[in-house]
Structure 1
């Protein structure tokens, strides 16, 4: 038996479908899903460039001529340093680079309004976190791409690649014994630490600059009418402060 749907039921079904579509569209818009997804994709490309083969530069050598017919080959002293532990570990870099801006932003949005007049920007925490994610993803992608295309040797290349010092080098043969160490030893430029720190601290600097420049009060302790229209009503303004502004506007009109 065929099912019969009355005409009266069609608008209800349409409203139900549109409400579901509108709900997902609203959630996607409110949580900036598309922007976050693009950032995740950029992280994926950065991981791709980090895993593929690095540009293979010829290992530098120094020819030492012993006589008219004999020469020996020496290692380049600029990449013959000993590998040392990182002064700033990766976990500290990410923790401080991301943690400091996030903590400052939370302080500005939730703690500062309790004792200072500030302008509250809708969805500021969400948008600030999105900016951090976008900035670091773009910096990571560009850094890994450039590292892969450049293949510049680190100052401790021989030590990182476990160079075989027991064999007399002919100036050509690759005597590295660690493939992973050799690959990492060819990623000297650009600095991943510097690019990540720059990406996060630049966002923090912009936030602090906008916050400090956006809170400008007259010397009397009240905003002018022009400033009030720009900044909006302060979150913790006293009643007499608001009355004072309106009284000044009325007096100017009279």
Structure 2
């Protein structure tokens, strides 16, 4: 495991700290807004979720984790397993941190708040936990969780299938079909979009909540994925092998068995030599 570096421990610690902070933010007192009981914006019926919490975790967490583990097993690579799980976990924890912070601070009322509240003329008489949750409309947690998981899977598929990269010698079998690879790659985005739409159909969120939540999930997955993997959408030459994670901490094993970082000058010299050789080949 020449790729393994102690700096990855710090990455896992930071990821865990994001998760713990999200739990703290989630349990902070919610901001209680003033409202008009007859406001039509918050007077929609309180309906059951089409996608409940358990189902959301199965779809947005279970599927990406199963894919990462499956690819790692097929390739017999701890490198693949570690980077895939770290990238996905960090993306999810970052998304949760942002969403849980905003929900309680903004305190926006859900479209079905009046039905939750059961206003009697002086106060809400509905179940306290249901009423409090009615103040957590912005941003949409379901939409954000769906988009962080499915965006990660979209990027992961794009990386593994070389969907958007120029492949010098593409396979001549059915597996080399460009549209097959493209269809597989974008399929998770349809699932994310469907989950987000159900939040509008169930009157759990306003459209702004769903849009912002989806963007938070998309950006969290995109930014973290790019830390640990090459850009799957780029057609430019890259130092990293296509379809493999990046060795984020450029390390080599010393004689004493420990890992140390290469100097920036050494890496620049290596990359420069490789680039010069590539340009020479192109001129020939």
Alignment TM-score > 0.5, same fold: yes
Per the alignment, residue 99 of structure 1 pairs with 62
Local SS of the residue matching 2:26: helix
Alignment match of 2:169 (pick from 185, 200, 218)? 218
Are the counterparts in 2 of residues 106 and 125 from structure 1 also a CA contact under 8 Å? yes
TM-score (norm 1): 0.59
Separation of aligned partners in 1, 2:124 and 2:68:
51
Distance in 2, Cα, partners of 1:141 & 1:231: 32
What's the CA shift for 1:123? 0.8
Give the CA deviation at 1:106: 3.0
Q: How do 1:50-65 residues align onto structure 2 when only pairs under 5 Å count?
A: 50-61=26-37
Equivalent residue, structure 2, for 1:149: 105
Q: Which residue of 1 aligns with 2:207?
A: none
> Structure 1 residues 211 and 80, CA, compared in 2 at 3 Å: closer, same or farther?
same
Structure 1 distance, partners of 2:51, 2:157, is: 25
| Structure 2: runs of 5+ lacking an equivalent | 173-236, 243-280
Structure 2 residue aligned with 1:79: 42
Structure of higher CA gyration radius = 1
How many residues are treated as equivalent by the alignment? 174
Q: Measure the CA separation in 1 of the matches of 2:171 and 2:54.
A: 48
Could you tell me which residue of structure 2 aligns to residue 7 of structure 1?
Answer: none
Query: Which runs of 5 or more structure 1 residues have no equivalent in the other structure?
Result: 1-25, 62-74, 114-119, 222-226, 233-251
Q: Is the 8 Å Cα contact of residues 44 and 115 (structure 2) preserved in structure 1? A: yes
> Does structure 2 conserve the Cα–Cα contact (< 8 Å) formed by 1:101 and 1:200?
yes
Q: Note if 1:29 corresponds to 2:45.
A: no
1:1-48 Cα distance to aligned partner (Å, 9 max, x none): xxxxxxxxxxxxxxxxxxxxxxxxx99828x33222222221221111
Cα 1:160–1:231 change in 2 (3 A) is: same
> What's the counterpart of residue 240 of structure 1?
none
Please name the residue that 1:40 is paired with. Answer: 16
CA contact (8 A) 1:158 1:176 kept: no
Cα separation, 1, equivalents of 2:24 and 2:95:
15
What does residue 6 of structure 1 align with?
A: none
Shift of residue 81 of structure 1? 2.3
Q: Please, which of 136, 141, 154 is the counterpart of residue 205 of structure 1?
A: 154
- Quick one: which of 93, 100, 113 aligns to 1:137? 93
Residue pair 2:107, 2:138 contacting (<8 A) in 1 also: yes
Distance (whole Å) between structure 2 residues aligned to residue 219 and residue 86 of structure 1:
45
> Residues 54-83 of structure 1: CA distance to partner in whole angstroms, max 9, x if unpaired?
12211125xxxxxxxxxxxxx222212221
The change in CA–CA distance for 1:54 and 1:219 in structure 2 (over 3 A counts) is: closer
Distance 1:219 1:35, change over 3 A: closer
RMSD, aligned CA: 3.2
Aligned to 1:182: 131
Query: TM-score of the superposition, structure 2-length normalised?
Result: 0.53
Q: How does 1:236-251 map to 2 (within 5 A)?
A: none
